[in-house]
Amino acid sequence: MADEPGWEVDPDDEWGVAVIATVGRQLRLRREAVGMRAAEFAVAVGYGEDLVYKVEGGKRIPRQEYLDKADEVLGAGGLVAAAWEDVKRVRYPKKVRELGKLEAAAVEIALYECHIIPGLLQISEHARSVIAAAQPPYSPDDVERMVAARLARQSVFERTPAPALSFVLEEGVLRRPIGGRMVWRQQLERLLEVGRLHNVVLQVMPMDCDTHSGLDGRIEVLKFPDGTAVGRSDGAFNGRPTSELKHLRVLELRYGTIRAQALSPRESLAFIEQLLGET
């Protein structure tokens, strides 16, 4: 297989660099221990010799298939294949991993979105369409990598104990058939599924609400078990994450006002069901 874009190691990601360098070094040592040249190994695993050197030099993130085949060729008994558990975490962009860590630790997540369906609620086809629409465009491999990262964050719904999750979405966002009508239907069905979970409150901001405190953009607040919190808003504090109490109070006030102006959870689910019936 040829070398593909989208699996380079981010030099600013110190942890990612360390993990991939360690995996690459272990692969090289095992290859040399069985007396295989890089060219021979490349043929055996079905990848280019240049890619083998990049992986072993810690310059390239190996795919799971690469590690599985290397394990088989080197007779590693599953030890090389097991490295995927570490590799799969660093294959996602650093910013996404950091966001995922925060979401995984939070006991409460409150999110208002005005332009898109939040990543935590997107199905894969919807996420793929959104990411692929970026300009300048991402490579196909980059798109798949980012879709996988977005879906990995949704493990928050499988946590025990379950966190309290609150979402407010704009009606206009729900009416846009991103990805085509079939994907749109599946996305609406996913929203209904999530909105019925015991730990989720999902609300819709109707179009006939002419103004509200979220018109500047996204508002997000995450609260943690130790009583700390972090939040951000596109329209406040330069859009940067903040943990200052006075800033958090502003964000919570804005979010609370938005929730009060939105349809109730029951009305919101009924509205989504109505949209689904119209598709």
- Helix, strand, coil proportions of the chain in percent (round to 5)? 55, 10, 35
107 CB-contact burial (10 Å; exposed 0-12 / middle 13-18 / buried 19+): middle
pLDDT band of 93, cuts 50, 70, 90: low
SS3 of residue 205 by DSSP: strand
Name which residue leads in pLDDT, 152 or 7: 152
The residue-averaged pLDDT of 48-75 equals 91
Residue 193 is predicted with a pLDDT of 97
pLDDT band of 132, cuts 50, 70, 90: very high
Residue 189 is predicted with a pLDDT of 97
The residue-averaged pLDDT of 135-150 equals 84
CA distance linking residue 242 with residue 239, whole number of Å: 9
Lowest mean pLDDT among 64-73, 96-105, 168-177: 96-105
CA neighbor of 191 nearest in space, from 202, 176, 180: 202
The residue-averaged pLDDT of 70-77 equals 93
* Buried/exposed 122-134: b ≥16 CB within 10 Å, e otherwise: bbbbbbbbbbbee
Residue 88 is predicted with a pLDDT of 76
- CA-based max dimension of the chain: 72
